Amino acid sequence: MTLREFQALIRRMYHDKDAARGVEGTFMWLSEEVGELAGALRGGTKEEVALEFADVLAWLATIANVVDVDLEAAVQRKYGGGCPGCGQVACVCPDAEKP
């Protein structure tokens, strides 16, 4: 499944509820899932960690759907040519920089 296919699947399953909830409410759900991922990374099983990653990605796709952003296109545009900072596929930016 591509990122675009995943985002479309999430749209088909949840878009009406997500649009009604709005960006702010949906962002709160994403934040909660990031917290659950943090907990799983600290002490969960590999399966629990994997499922929390899936949840975070699903809520990120949900927000992108609500604001009408194509995640696959955005990722390609920003990272398709390498690191946005240095332009290299293997980043050579100084450690103090964001990438």
20-43, pLDDT tens digit by residue?
999 999 999 999 999 999 999 999
Residue whose C-alpha is closest to residue 55's, from 29, 22, 75, 73: 29
**CA separation for the pair 68, 22 (Å, rounded):** 12
- To the nearest whole percent, how much of the chain has pLDDT over 70? 99
The CATH number linked to 26 is: 1.10.287.1080
The pLDDT, as a whole number, for residue 47 is 98
Does pLDDT of 99 surpass 90?
no
Q: In angstroms, how far is CA 45 from the centroid of its own chain?
A: 21
**Within a domain: 50:** yes
- Domain hosting residue 38, numbered range: 3-68
Find the DSSP H helices in 44-70. 46-66
pTM of the model: 0.88
